[in-house]
Structure formats: C-alpha cells, structure tokens
Amino acid sequence: MGEILNLRRIVGKPTAPLPLDSRIAPTSVSLEPLALLLTETAAGNERAFARLYELTGGRMLAIARGIVGRADVAEDVVQDSFLRVWRWAHRYDPDKGPAYAWLVRIVRNRALSAREQMHRREDGHCELDAEALVQPGRDPADQAMRSEEARQVNACLANLPLNHRRSVALVYFEGLTHRELAERLDVQLGTAKSWVRRGLAQMGRCLSGGADADWRELMAAQYAAGSLQGACRRGFERRRERDARYCHAVDVWENRLALLTEFLPDAGPAPSGIWNRVAQQIQRERLYLSRPRFWQATSALLALAVLALLVVVLR
C-alpha cells in the first residue's frame, strides 16, 4: 500500500486527460491497489489499464532511461512493456509478490534487451545518479512516503561499504555487465565481480536479521540483480526450471530490488504520448481479432490439428 501512495505523490495529475474513465469497480478488498488494477486489466477493463499506466508510467520510464540511456529508446521500451502488461496481466500472481515489482521486472527486462541491441550507450551519459539513490540521511518527510519494505531494503543497501554499494546499484539500475562495471570503476574484472557478490551477500544478511544466505540464495540474488552472465546465467536458469526453490529465491530477490526503484528521482507525470500509442495498438489488435477472416483461419487450423491428432491416435 505504501508504494501506491508514493506513486500518487510522484505522478500527480496527468498532463492530458486519458481517453478512458478511471472509475473502477473493485473486485476484492484483499488486493493492494496496483494488484486490483492488474486484475481488472486481465479481465479486459481498459479504464483500469489506463489508471495503471497513469500511476506507474512515469516511474517505469525513469527505470528504462537509467538502463538504456536514451529518452527515445526508453519510451519504446515503456510502450512495448505496457503492451505486454495488457496481454499478460492474467499471468500476475499476487502470491509471488507485489504488483509493482511485477511491473518493474517487465520493464527492466525489456530495457536490458534493448540495451543489448544497442551494443553500447551512444551518448555515454549516465541518466541516473546511482550514488544519490542510496545515500542515507535523506529528507525525513520524503522517506515517510516510502513503503516500510522499501525503506528496509534501501537501508540495507545504504549500509554497505561504498564500493559494494556503488557496484550493486550500477549493476541493477543501469544494467552494467561485470566488465562494464570494472571499466566504470577503473578496477580489475575480478574485483568488480567480488564487490557485487559481497554486496548482495551483505544485503541478504541484513534483510534476514544476520543469518548467512546459502549458495542458492546468493546465486538467486546475483541473477535478480543481473550480474549472472553467460554460461553461469544459463546454468542457473536450467536449475530454476527444475527446482521450485530457485524460483522462490529469485522471486524474493527481484521483489526486494524492485522496491529500490521507489527511491528514483521523481519522474513526473506518465507521458500521455506513450499511452496514446499503446491505446492505438490495442484498438488495432481488437479490430484484427474481430475480422471474420481471422476466425475462419483459426477454425481451419484448429480443424487440421484435430484431424492430425485423430490420424495419429487411430494408427
């Protein structure tokens, strides 16, 4: 609930009226506000989807810009991400974490993919000041607007040694690889890897009340932060597919790290231009799905699939 209060403070009033009414009929009092909006979105409620974008679009744009480093690419990332939210809202499971963290995960993954396609940051400019995000002693009134969970995660990050704190923040907020991190901090590659690993381990101890995390949790933390790469990342993903404990550990760490984005600089209102493009794409898709030829082709393909299955069974 704390995160939705924070989002309302950040977003404020939209710069232009959204084309959809924001009044939403609640379906469950047990769901936090963003989860309720996702539930309504999954049912095809465009008003709920518009409200979801209004509350989170500006913050998601700030996350994307921090990773890709270009405003135009970041807008494309947010547009693509919210189209995925519209199509995938039914996949959200409130038992696995807050809705805000689920949205951050989608945007961050899309931004990292876009960054890989760009190969390099063309402007060489750091959009986000990673150090400023985790400095202790900020305005008490500002801190009070954050959710309790976010304050706890931020405090654990802020208490890390400087090099460890900077390393974790740069890897997560800017999507730097170990090699890029080493170049940014002007240290050896092994040192950069060690700082990230030790920083996440210390955060884990802080968040668990002093208990040392096992190797599974440490691997999950590195995966969630984005510091597992290459063969190590692929190997972890294979284990994750076979063992639910890895899935749970990753969910926990992705939710924790997503809360840190509450401390990003105020992003301003959700850009109406991105929303307009998202809404237009949704309408185009609906028109396409309503065409008779689409359903005729779908029925024909389904009939062929059933016929092929019968042939196999009767042999």
Q: What is the pLDDT of residue 265?
A: 76
Is CATH 1.10.10.10 the classification given to domain 129-263? yes
Report the C-alpha gap between 232 and 215 in whole angstroms: 13
- Cα(56)–Cα(9) distance, integer angstroms: 11
Q: Which fold has domain 1-121+270-296?
A: Rna Polymerase Sigma Factor; Chain: A (1.10.1740)
Contact 154, 134 (CB under 8 A): yes
Region(s) of the chain under CATH 1.10.10.10:
129-263
pLDDT digits over 221-277, tens only? 999 999 888 888 899 889 888 988 899 999 999 999 999 998 887 667 888 999 999
Q: What is the pLDDT of residue 9?
A: 35
pLDDT of residue 76: 95
DSSP string of 125-156, one letter each residue:
--SS-HHHHT-SS--HHHHHTS-HHHHHHHHH
Task: Please determine, for residue 149, whether its predicted confidence score (pLDDT) is greater than 70.
Answer: yes
Instruction: Give 38-87 pLDDT, tens digit per residue.
Output: 999 999 999 999 999 999 999 999 999 999 988 899 999 999 999 999 99
- Cα separation, 283 vs 4, in Å, equals 28
Alpha helices, DSSP H only, in 145-291? 148-158, 162-174, 178-185, 189-207, 215-225, 230-242, 244-259, 272-289
Residues of the chain with CATH 1.10.1740.10: 1-121+270-296
- Tens digits of residue pLDDT in 299-311: 667 767 777 777 6
| DSSP state, residue 264 | S
Q: Is the pLDDT of residue 120 over 50?
A: yes
pTM given for the model? 0.77
Among residues 151, 179, 185, 180, the alpha carbon closest in space to that of 165 is found at 185
Q: How many Å separate Cα 309 from the centre of its chain? A: 40
